[in-house]
């Protein structure tokens, strides 16, 4: 079995993880300081979001040199030290690969925009006039005028992130060269940013085409064949039907993909992320069930609630006030009992929450652009702020709360983004002193995943499917069964009517409450979750 099928990945957003030099921005030195903390948690793989040279227009997802480390984060020597320390602890490191676009300060684009006859001009996508009215993900047109050549270049994200022209073989060869350079350095794989978009057809506003698969198969042949590495593709347009095309072993493309369907359930369909609606638990259950069944023995799932682009899950669909600990543990158990590779986003293991800053304290380009666009569309500031509080990417980017000292022990300087004011109550130091902490719960979940192969290989059956209060399922392999049951409400729930819960006579491996002796064990307390093993 491939090693990544039994692994747990921890995502680090370096700017907000730990600052080692007092400049207010997290860095590689700070990560090195905390390697043993990550080892104690029990994770196997660290995913590092971009630390390459960049003007930081989109916090590093705008790369100006793929072969250099941004001095803001440290040096190549420090990255090599981090890699060595992780490997010494039998942990692995994957890097972020951002090759749908570059920074407008990359040497390729500088040459491309200055001269139509440069070979680098065809590294990007140019038209004499905007040929579509397509909008970028960061608001405004995807077409940006370039005075030097009297043309328009294409950018799906910020105008400072011009899209690479993947139909140009030279572009693809440059990408394969840099991938192999990093793999030769000893890293263990890549998370690939919006990788399904490399097959876009700009003239038709088509985001994903068969070319995406053609290029990924070519990439596999040129970079990954014969190497024991792990690749995960961010594929925002993938579906349960198309995800196996990326991740089935015989396709020779990627190890797994990130599907985002479950994270769109609190949005009004077709209106984008800022138009909010209440997430229905039964919808969530059906989405997970569909993905679990679609990829079983046909591909591989990535299991995640959060990342640097998503709000904190305990605030999003849990209860971040009265039942913060209980709901954070419940959400962790639901995810970690499923088939796939789980991802823990930094701070999730201590139950960090969303934040409610005044508008001037937000730093993210997406939020800043959204405010301007929605004001022009006639939205009230109240509605705009409601969207920001719920969905702004800065919710996930506030610095890690290490202790209760100034700036939560993140930095001796002024943090690049303010710390969540609740750091006095929610921090790593306090968490590690508690026996019933969210951190300790994650440790136990990780241990159970390693011990029970049914989680890695078993099939999935949803239970109590019509009860919107309960999320329950069974993982089954032969006579071995592992059950997960969770109360998704802040009320007591009687499960007595759910006939499929007879398993509760089995061994309870883990729960987020102390067992109530002498009480009916079919009664679940607010956000209570339990995991049972039967037939082992």
Active site residues: 193, 234
CA distances to 27, 37, 70, 292 from 32, rounded to whole Å, are: 9, 10, 16, 35
Decide: 231 and 192 in contact? Cβ < 8 Å: yes
* Phi and psi, residue 323, nearest 5°: -120, 40
SS3 337: coil
Q: Is the torsion defined by CA of 174, 175, 176, 179 positive or negative?
A: positive
Tokens 């419940």 — which residue?
330
CA distance 212 to 218: 10
CA distance 255 to 121: 33
Going by C-alpha positions, the residue among 36, 37, 59, 47 that lies closest to residue 7 is 47
Structure tokens at 273: 């992320």
The alpha carbons of the chain give a radius of gyration, in whole angstroms, of 23
Instruction: Find residue 341's DSSP bridge partners.
Output: 302
Residues sharing a CB contact under 8 Å with residue 329, sequence separation 6 or more, in sequence order: 438, 441, 512, 527, 529
Other beta carbons less than 10 A from residue 168's beta carbon: 16
CA atoms within 13 A on the CB side of 487: 19
CA distance 431 to 437: 6
Other beta carbons less than 10 A from residue 36's beta carbon: 11
CA distance 434 to 439: 9
Decide: 41 and 447 in contact? Cβ < 8 Å: no
Other beta carbons less than 10 A from residue 77's beta carbon: 10
CA distance 288 to 303: 10
Structure tokens at 455: 């989680």
The CA-based angle 361-366-370, given to 5 degrees, is 90
Q: Which helix (H) or strand (E) holds 179?
A: helix 169-185
Residues sharing a CB contact under 8 Å with residue 98, sequence separation 6 or more, in sequence order: 50, 52, 61, 63, 193
Other beta carbons less than 10 A from residue 201's beta carbon: 12
């Amino acid at each position: 079995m491939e090693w990544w099928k039994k692994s747990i990945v921890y995502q680090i957003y370096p700017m907000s993880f730990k600052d080692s030099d007092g400049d207010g921005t997290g860095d590689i030195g700070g990560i090195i300081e905390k390697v043993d903390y990550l080892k104690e948690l029990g994770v196997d793989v660290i995913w590092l979001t971009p630390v390459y040279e960049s003007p930081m227009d989109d916090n590093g997802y705008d790369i100006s040199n793929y072969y250099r480390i941004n001095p803001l984060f440290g040096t190549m020597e420090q990255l090599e030290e981090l890699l060595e320390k992780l490997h010494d602890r039998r942990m692995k490191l994957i890097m972020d690969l951002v090759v749908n676009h570059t920074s407008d300060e990359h040497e390729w684009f500088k040459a491309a925009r200055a001269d139509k006859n440069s070979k680098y001009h065809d590294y990007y996508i140019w038209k004499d006039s905007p040929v579509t009215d397509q909008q970028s993900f960061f608001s405004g047109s995807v077409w940006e005028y370039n005075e030097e050549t009297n043309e328009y270049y294409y950018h799906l994200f910020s105008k400072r992130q011009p899209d690479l022209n993947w139909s140009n073989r030279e572009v693809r060869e440059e990408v394969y060269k840099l991938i192999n350079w990093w793999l030769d350095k000893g890293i263990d794989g890549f998370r690939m940013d919006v990788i399904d978009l490399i097959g876009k057809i700009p003239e038709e506003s088509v985001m994903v085409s068969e070319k995406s698969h053609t290029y990924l198969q070519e990439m596999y042949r040129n970079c990954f064949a014969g190497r024991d590495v792990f690749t995960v593709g961010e594929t925002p347009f993938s579906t349960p039907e198309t995800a196996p095309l990326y991740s089935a072993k015989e396709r020779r493309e990627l190890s797994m993909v990130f599907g985002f369907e479950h994270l769109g359930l609190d949005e009004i369909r077709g209106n984008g992320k800022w138009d909010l609606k209440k997430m229905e638990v039964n919808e969530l259950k059906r989405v997970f069930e569909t993905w679990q069944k679609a990829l079983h023995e046909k591909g591989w799932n990535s299991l995640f609630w959060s990342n640097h682009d998503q709000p904190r899950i305990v605030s999003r669909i849990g209860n971040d006030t009265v039942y913060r600990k209980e709901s954070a543990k419940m959400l962790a158990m639901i995810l970690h009992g499923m088939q796939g590779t789980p991802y823990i986003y930094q701070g999730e293991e201590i139950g960090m929450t969303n934040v409610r800053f005044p508008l001037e304290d937000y730093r993210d380009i997406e939020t800043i652009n959204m405010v301007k666009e929605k004001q022009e569309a006639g939205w009230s500031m109240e509605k705009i702020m409601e969207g920001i509080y719920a969905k702004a990417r800065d919710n996930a980017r506030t610095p890690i709360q290490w202790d209760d000292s100034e700036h939560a022990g993140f930095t001796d300087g002024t943090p690049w983004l303010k710390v969540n004011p609740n750091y006095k109550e929610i921090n790593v130091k306090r968490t590690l002193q508690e026996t019933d902490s969210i951190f300790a719960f994650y440790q136990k979940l990780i241990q159970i995943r390693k011990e029970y192969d049914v989680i890695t290989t078993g099939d999935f059956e949803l239970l109590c499917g019509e009860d919107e209060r309960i999320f329950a399922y069974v993982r089954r392999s032969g006579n071995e069964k592992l059950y997960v049951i969770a109360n998704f409400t802040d009320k007591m729930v009687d499960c007595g009517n759910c006939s499929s819960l007879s398993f509760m006579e089995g061994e309870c491996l883990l729960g987020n409450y102390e067992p109530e002796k002498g009480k009916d064990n079919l009664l679940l307390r607010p956000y209570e979750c339990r995991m049972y093993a039967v037939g082992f």
